[in-house]
Structure formats: C-alpha cells, structure tokens
Amino acid sequence: MDAALLAAIRSGDRRALSRAITLIEQDGAESGLPAPSAVIGFTGPPGAGKSTLISALIDVVRSRGETVAVLAVDPSSPVTGGAILGDRIRMQGHVDDDGVYIRSMATRGHLGGLARATRGAASLLAEAGFDRVMVETVGVGQSEVEVMGLAEVVVLVLGPSWGDQIQADKAGIVEIADVFVVNKGDRPGIQEVERALRETADARRAMILVTTATSGEGVAELLTEIDRLIV
C-alpha cells in the first residue's frame, strides 16, 4: 500500500479510504497492512434481518460517541460484477453521519460468505481509526464460515422461522457463532428457535439473545455482550 495513501487514510480522508479499498478489490494491493483487530462479524441466512440489526447497532454505537465502519458483502450483479447494494440501502439512514462509513463489497464469485478483499478492507478501516469495524456476510446459508477467520466475535442472526432448519443442520455457521441472536422477536416462533439453539449455545458457552431490530429492543444488550467478548 502506497505510504502517502495510507497516511491520508490515517488522517481521516474518507475519499482516500474509498480509493484504497477499490485498489484492494481490483488489484489485491494490501501488502504491508497489519491484521485487522476487534472485527465483529454478522452472519446468517437471508431474511433474518442482519442489515436492519446492524443499522440499529450503529444507532447505539453513535449514541455512545463512538465511530463505526461497516463492510456489507453483497451478491455480485450478473451484469456489472459489482455489488447489488441491498445491504447498504437498508442502512441509508446513516449516510449523512461523518462518524459512520458503510461500504458494500461484491463477492465476485468468492465462496464462504465474504469477498476476497474483505480482510484487507477491514485492515484499512482499522487504520482509519474507527472505533468499531463490522462485517456482514453475504447471507447464503450454512457455508458462511470464512468470517470466523476474520472476526473476533461472530454473531449469528436467525429469524423466527428457523427452528426446524437448525435441528436439521447442526454444522456450519451454527457451530462458529459466539453470540446467537433471534431477531424479529415480535413474531411467532421465537421460542422454537431458542430451544433448537440451546444445545449448541450451551456447548459454546454462548448467549442467546432476542432482538427486534425495527424497534431497537434488545440491541443495546447485544452490544454489551459483544463488548464482553472482545478481548
């Protein structure tokens, strides 16, 4: 990574930060970057409300006076190859906040739930001085385990309809989570999902939290548990 560009990023230049992430996406230009620290990963199936939950967490983080950056890994457009941008659109309420940086990244065919450039981009966000760095996986299902190698804390977000699926699939993302979140807590089926998760959660000594991201219920408690787990 060019020293002048890195210095601009460390000084708070957001345009330089965006340019550097684009370089990593295009050319893999991340040599010399330190490993990212204290990354919080969010994974889980489509429709669980990961993006809405992250948006609610941003509200809590900002209310504490902290800054936050989010890498939202999206499916690739079959036409342009770029990110479809669904996740960033759901977080659009934060676009005018200088203490929030949100970047969508296309998978570009990379498997495992992340983009090939996600680790380098997370390192740049840490270099830019953000208090929190969050990464949201693409949301394809049980194979999204690559986030475990990047994030210090992995949050698995599930919806109230996932009780039977958890019973059928006891591997993959269910077994890498540090925190289990059953989102959309105002809908039926929450208790079934909690029961289905209990054995795995107990084995991992992980908490099961219920949230309703649209109202903010349980979100502050989730951030408190994430903070407890970050070494």
Q: Where along the chain do its domains lie? A: 35-229
Q: What is the pLDDT of residue 188?
A: 92
- List, for residues 113-156, the tens digit of each pLDDT value: 688 889 999 999 999 999 999 999 886 555 567 888 899 999 99
Let me know: does 17 contact 1? Beta carbons within 8 Å: no
Query: Average pLDDT, whole number, for the chain?
Result: 85
CATH level 3 topology of 35-229? Rossmann fold (3.40.50)
What integer pLDDT is reported at residue 143 of this predicted model? 55
Q: In what helix (H) or strand (E) does residue 134 lie, and over which residues does it extend?
A: strand 132-136
Checking if the pLDDT of 11 tops 50, the result is yes
Which residues have C-beta within 8 Å of that of residue 49, sequence separation ≥ 6?
Answer: 157, 159, 183, 184, 213
